[in-house]
Amino acid sequence: MRLLRFNLGTRQLAAMLILGLVALSPVLLYAVERLNFRPGFNLFSPDQDVEMGRKASAEVNSNLPLLQDAQVEGYVSSLGKKLAAIAPNQSGGVKYAWTFKVVNSSEINAFALPGGFIYVNRGAIEAAQDEAQIAGVLAHEEGHVVMRHGTHQASEMMLAQAPLSLLAGVLGQSSSLASQLVQLGLSFGVNSILLRNSRSAESQADEVGTYILYRAGYDPHAMAQFFGIIQKKYPQRTIQFFSDHPNPGNRIRNVDEEVPRLGPRKDWKEDSPEFQAVNQKLQHMPPAPKPKPQK
């Protein structure tokens, strides 16, 4: 050791460090490659995701009963932001909005608008048994945001429906992007194309969600387990969720295969007193209003 310390100059140390990194990089690249954290085909820029999401969230906020409770909102928002900070694919100056709202509905549902506007139903928080499960729901939705599934869907629809000249016009004028998309038949409400995910988008959101859970120190199996539990236990209250987030099949098996690739097993966190306090508070609130028929 002593010899080593005296004989290695700064230059040799730097060379060793570079060699080490070069040797390591295929491993890192391989892991990211295998995890497929690349968004699909998209006609929009990430900034346009945020613009579109903002427009859509204004629509959603005036149509859904939002729960106004500082403790519940504060909890979901701080958990959501903590997880969003470690979500992949946010380099290159992308600034997602990362806002979190709780909908006062007993349906077990959650959805994400492009650009980072995430909604979680009260029913989902009440159905979760521990913090890791609700963290899994948030992480899955964040997966849809960073993989840009909403505008990917919109892009595919536009490509299929709109003449190319129209597309060029729409994309050239970002200020009136939203209104022009409406002209193309894209709606922004709760039944928007922006919320309908394909099975492959679901698999990718699962992969990202599991990865975020692992990096945040939660049991990375919690997301898939929770989706399995609610589908079996509450079939009537999860219809919308599984319509917007179709089960890709083999969800639990896929996650079981992904987890060992993320790194060594840790002492995973599962719950917190803050989650239990919020869960209890919601269960003792007056029942959620009956949903009004959707337009």
Task: Note the residues at the interface with Zn ion (CB under 5 A).
Answer: 197, 202, 205, 245
In the complex, minimum distance from the CB of residue 111 to Zn ion, in angstroms, rounded to a whole number: 8
Number of H helices, E strands in the chain: 14, 3
In the complex, minimum distance from the CB of residue 263 to Zn ion, in angstroms, rounded to a whole number: 24
Nearest residue (CB) to Zn ion, 65 versus 248: 248
How many Å apart are CA 131 and CA 270, to the nearest integer? Answer: 6
Nearest residue (CB) to Zn ion, 180 versus 248: 248
Closest CA to 170 of 59, 57, 52, 54: 52
Nearest residue (CB) to Zn ion, 38 versus 199: 199
How many Å apart are CA 114 and CA 178, to the nearest integer? Answer: 12
In the complex, minimum distance from the CB of residue 209 to Zn ion, in angstroms, rounded to a whole number: 8
Nearest residue (CB) to Zn ion, 229 versus 285: 229
Can you tell me which residue has the tokens 């994309």? 171
In the complex, minimum distance from the CB of residue 100 to Zn ion, in angstroms, rounded to a whole number: 16
In the complex, minimum distance from the CB of residue 246 to Zn ion, in angstroms, rounded to a whole number: 8
Long-range contacts of 91-95 (CB under 8 A, 24+ apart): 92/46, 94/46, 94/47, 95/50
φ, ψ dihedrals at 112, nearest 5°: -125, 130
Nearest residue (CB) to Zn ion, 104 versus 197: 197
Nearest residue (CB) to Zn ion, 46 versus 136: 136
Which structure tokens are listed for 43? 């006609």
Residue whose Cβ sits closest to Zn ion: 245
In angstroms, how far apart are the furthest CA atoms of the chain? 78
In the complex, minimum distance from the CB of residue 114 to Zn ion, in angstroms, rounded to a whole number: 13
DSSP secondary-structure letter at 218?
Answer: B
